[in-house]
Amino acid sequence: MTTLAGSAGVLADDAAYAAAVETAVAAAGAYYATGESALDDDAYDRLVRAVAAYEAAHPDRVLPDSPSGKVAGGAAVGDVPHTVAMLSLDNVFSPEEFITWTASVERRTGRPVAGWSVEPKLDGLAMAARYRDGRLVQLVTRGDGSAGEDVSHAIGAIRGLPESLAEPVTLEVRGEVLMTTEQFEQANAVRVAHGGAPFVNPRNGAAGSLRAKDRAYTVEMTFFCYGALPLPATSQELAAQLRESTHTEILARAAALGVHTAADTAVPPRTAATAQEALERVAEIAGLRAELPFGIDGVVIKADSAADQRDAGSGSRAPRWAIAFKLPAVEKVTTLLAVEWNVGRTGIIAPRAVLEPVRIDGSTVTYATLHNPADITRRDLRVGDRVMVYKAGDIIPRVEAPVAHLRTGAEQPIAFPDVCPQCGSEIDTSEQRWRCVRGRACHVVASISYAVGRDQLDIEGLGATRVVQLVDAGLAADVADLFTLTREHLLSLERMGETSTDNLLAAIGAAKDRPLSRVLAALGVRGTGRSISRRLARHFATMAELCSADAEAIQRVDGIGAEKARVIVDELAELGPLIAKLTAAGVNMTEPGATPPAIDGAQAEPAGDGGPLTGRTVVVTGAMTGSLEKLSRNQMNELIERAGGKASSGVSKRTTLVVAGEGAGSKRAKAEDLGVPLMTPEEFAGLVAEYVDGE
């Protein structure tokens, strides 16, 4: 699990960050797949917030699976496109953060916000309901924000979402599906009666029930509308009204049509003239939290006017005119039963607390994060201690401190490992983060699984289970061994038929031709990430040139300082034997379109014209469409660089092109202010067509 330092929410190092990403992705995947996530919303939000903060401080270390900037943490899936991106909300956790946020909104709009709408943040599942001529025809989950899952089978089981509206209009209403306390109790009674396990909490119950198609029973849920927008078939008059109405007016219109809103609850949406008034309403709603017949995990504050919303704009993940004010943390005392020592893919050894199971904010906590051996000693933690455990609103979950006055004298010191718990080798204890002396060779499964991931070598069909089989069978001691596998090797494995074997061999063969930047990313060189790997590959052009470079030469690459350069040199030396094996196996070690640096250390000009984006700095914003729709942001950046350009995340005077997709907000506006040329995704795809499918 993660290791922490300092105040809550701060990731101490790369190992803590990687563990946090893994935890967040697993939590999001469980939630959006089954609704059975062990983490509550507040805890997940804090985890993602800590990940984002670490990435902001270390942009060159961003992992490909990071949930940052992704709706639903990048875990949700769906095949029904949204007409307008269905985004998440960013969070604040204190009045000071909220005031700072409101000031940022007014800086974007260039004027005081006309008013703030304040409403409860319902703890359920976001969903869009599409009406055609007043009839409910489709239900779609938020999914990844650009497309969601069709759950129209749930029509008729959701209170507050009528099958017929009061008027024969065509539009989409968006809101939250949840179970009230009463519905939750009824649902569990029905579920248990049919031999099922009870739902963990109302949120998970709603998420699982919304997707369930083949149950022998149905359970009731409730819908609360928080917005409405036109569909392509909406009349021009209604579309104009929806686009120009205030948020308050839209909710009133939805209620008049018969759709349920929070207006008739104990916490109806209200407008506030100032940020301070909005905070007062937040306090009122928080005070009513325990009395409400449904769960809330915060309060949503939105700029009420359509003009303010348009001018504030939206990012790729969240609108900039709305925020979620998350409610305070939950903490409980439980018993520290034991400490486990887990080994990461680079050999870092991290402690994890095993707890007496405790219910915190709707889920059972059995494990929690510790920091490192020095921190355990500093806090004098002992097995058998009663410990304060934080879950909601913090890095999830974590042991904060022992409750010393509850000690009985039976507590025992925590035993630190003498050898690596993974392989039995010696441990390097020279730094606070202990590491197996075998490094990556210690945890081969994790190392190989990372290397074959989508943004590295991208070997489809080689999941963790298959990697374990290969390692256990002695067929793979490192990633290079994958390229020596034969058909006979794979057919000898359990559950490997001829078709799956041929497909996997084809995928491995294709991986040999990945560009050098992908190979570098697969090696997991400390001090680098996807962006730095691409820069290194384009600067040095070949692995041989890179491996022969000293720290001074590596510092010439944009974004690499003296300390990082030394780490990269040491890492490449350590990885030398593995690089040699990859080369011998026929893996590509060059970057297409790049040429080695000149003798004086300056980067040589690419051969030919260098591509249509040569000399151009390109920013991508919004959701891509057309032939670019399925490309991740990392893949878009790779495409830009293959075409000769430089990918950038922020618009500035040095930006020469902005590719603005659906939902593009402030970056598009800033480009327009600076006179930077804009292209649609389709126009950009035409410009770089010959590079779209290339590696």
Is the Cβ–Cβ distance between 435 and 420 less than 8 Å?
Answer: no
Is the Cβ–Cβ distance between 678 and 660 less than 8 Å?
Answer: yes
Tokens of 136: 């409910």
Is the Cβ–Cβ distance between 263 and 251 less than 8 Å?
Answer: yes
CA distance 346 to 444: 9
Active site residue 630: no
User: What are the backbone angles phi and psi of residue 449, rounded to the nearest 5°?
Assistant: -60, -40
CA distance 531 to 648: 10
Tokens of 532: 């730095």
CA distance 292 to 590: 61
Tokens of 361: 């904010």
Is the Cβ–Cβ distance between 11 and 17 less than 8 Å?
Answer: yes
> Computed from CA positions of residues 217, 222, 227, 229, in that sequence, does the dihedral angle turn out positive or negative?
positive
Pairing of strands 363-369, 349-360: antiparallel
Tokens of 132: 């055609």
Q: Of 70, 121, 326, 667, which one is the catalytic site residue?
A: 121
Helix (H, G, I), strand (E, B) or coil at 299: strand
Beta bridge partners of 383: 412
Rg (C-alpha) for the chain, rounded Å, is 27
CA distance 610 to 631: 22
Is the Cβ–Cβ distance between 595 and 607 less than 8 Å?
Answer: yes
Tokens of 213: 């198609």
In angstroms, the Cα distances linking 218 to 205, 326, 586 are: 12, 32, 56
CA distance 679 to 657: 7
In angstroms, the Cα distances linking 253 to 86, 304, 423 are: 20, 15, 64
Closest CA to 474 of 492, 449, 459, 461: 492
Following DSSP, what letter does each residue of 75-118 receive, concatenated? ----SEE-SS------EE-SHHHHHHHHHHHHHHHTS--S-EEE
| CA 626 centroid distance within chain | 24
In a 13 Å sphere around the CA of 256, the CA atoms on its Cβ side amount to: 10
Q: Measured between alpha carbons, how far apart are the two ends of the chain, in Å?
A: 35
Which residues are known to be catalytic?
121
